[in-house]
């Protein structure tokens, strides 16, 4: 079992090598300049690496890039093995990163919350309080109520 620092260094190296090879070494037209390697994770035994990527484009381009990465997996693994110099070159698994989709979902939710807040603000702009502006009793109000009640008792007697 390798230590975490070694796995992290290997993951960083794999990310750099795969990104450089995709940019310069692979001549597959499906893997154009719209692919970004976002993260790489390596298992503790250094046998498997997961490479996360994002694609700038629509679903059709994402499917083409996934097929292109799958076909270039052997070349990329060879490049990683030559650069890493480890006894066993990790197998590469490519996973589309869901971070941009999650960020878009969060942005949409925030936009809905902002519009809802604006509607509430518009509705309450001309509104007034249902009762008094300050519905809470204050200590000085209690004193005046008891004084007037005492005065009423004295006046009645």
- Reported as a single tens digit per residue, the pLDDT across 58-113 is 888 888 888 888 988 988 999 999 998 888 999 999 998 887 778 888 999 999 99
CA-to-CA distance for 140 and 30, rounded, in angstroms?
A: 79
Mean pLDDT of 3-14: 89
pLDDT the model gives residue 143: 57
Placement of tokens 């799958």 in the chain: 70
pLDDT band at 157; cut points 50, 70, 90: very low
Does 15 score more than 50 pLDDT? yes
Question: Does residue 130 register a pLDDT over 80?
Answer: no
Handedness of CA 79, 81, 82, 85 (dihedral sign): positive
């Amino acid at each position: 079992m390798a230590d975490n620092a070694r796995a992290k260094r290997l993951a960083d190296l794999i990310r750099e090598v795969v990104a450089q090879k995709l940019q310069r070494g692979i001549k597959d037209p499906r893997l154009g300049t719209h692919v970004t390697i976002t993260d790489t994770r390596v298992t503790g035994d250094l046998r498997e690496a997961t490479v996360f990527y994002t694609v700038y484009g629509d679903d059709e381009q994402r499917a083409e890039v996934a097929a292109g990465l799958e076909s270039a997996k052997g070349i990329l693994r060879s490049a990683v093995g030559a650069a890493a110099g480890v006894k066993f070159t990790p197998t590469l698994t490519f996973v589309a990163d869901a971070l941009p989709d999650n960020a878009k979902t969060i942005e949409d939710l925030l936009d809905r919350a902002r519009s809802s807040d604006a509607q509430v603000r518009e509705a309450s702009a001309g509104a007034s309080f249902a009762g008094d502006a300050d519905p809470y009793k204050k200590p000085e109000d209690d004193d005046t109520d008891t004084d007037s009640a005492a005065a009423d008792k004295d006046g009645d007697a």
